């Protein structure tokens, strides 16, 4: 089940994001943008969705609707839930949510040094649309066009 994060879950959200992105700090030479983002503001805006199973929080996804797409800002999986398909389930949720909102695409970016992500998103049908340096990060942009017809 996926549900919105509550303000009292800020600690879990921040800790899960920090743990998920910790392996990339050495590669990038600094904390990835999701680690330093304003998680409280994201929760308050209704952008943070938690995936739970039997009451256990397994991961989260941060979604932001734009006029022509749904933007995936952060995907993070709890340490004990790695390699269980949680990331795939979160991305499927994003696609369902985009369709529910009548949006024709899901877009996201990742860091060029996150090799795992560079193969993960294409395996789910996302295609690279751009690569550029932005805010001090080397970002790779992806998009998946959706059939929004019922």
Q: Which domains does the chain have, with CATH numbers?
A: 2-104 (3.40.630.30)
pLDDT at 149: 60
53: enclosing H helix or E strand: strand 48-53
Whether pLDDT at 69 is above 80:
yes
Residue 104 DSSP SS3: coil
6: closest CA among 32, 36, 56, 44? 44
64: closest CA among 41, 81, 87? 41
Mean pLDDT, rounded, of the chain: 95
pLDDT bin (cut points 50, 70, 90) of residue 147 is confident
Tell me the sheet residues that pair with 71.
64, 107
This prediction's pTM = 0.94
Percent pLDDT > 90 in the chain is 89
Phi-psi region of 131 (alpha: psi -120 to 50; beta: other; left: phi over 0): beta
How far apart are the C-alpha atoms of 147 and 150, rounded to whole Å? 8
C-beta separation of 3 from 50 below 8 A: yes
How far apart are the C-alpha atoms of 145 and 148, rounded to whole Å? 9
């Amino acid at each position: 089940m996926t549900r919105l994060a509550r303000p009292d879950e800020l600690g879990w959200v921040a800790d899960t994001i920090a743990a998920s992105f910790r392996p990339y700090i050495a590669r990038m030479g600094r904390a990835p943008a999701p680690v330093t983002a304003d998680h409280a503001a994201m929760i308050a805006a209704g952008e943070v969705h938690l995936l739970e199973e039997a009451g256990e929080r397994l991961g989260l996804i941060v979604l932001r609707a734009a006029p022509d797409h749904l933007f995936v800002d952060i995907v993070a999986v709890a340490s004990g839930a790695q390699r269980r398909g949680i990331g795939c389930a979160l991305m499927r949720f994003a696609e369902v949510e985009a369709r529910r909102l009548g949006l024709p695409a899901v877009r996201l970016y990742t860091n060029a040094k996150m090799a795992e992500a560079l193969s993960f998103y294409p395996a789910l049908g996302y295609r690279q649309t751009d690569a550029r340096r932005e805010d001090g990060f080397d970002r790779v942009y992806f998009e998946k066009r959706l059939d929004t017809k019922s």
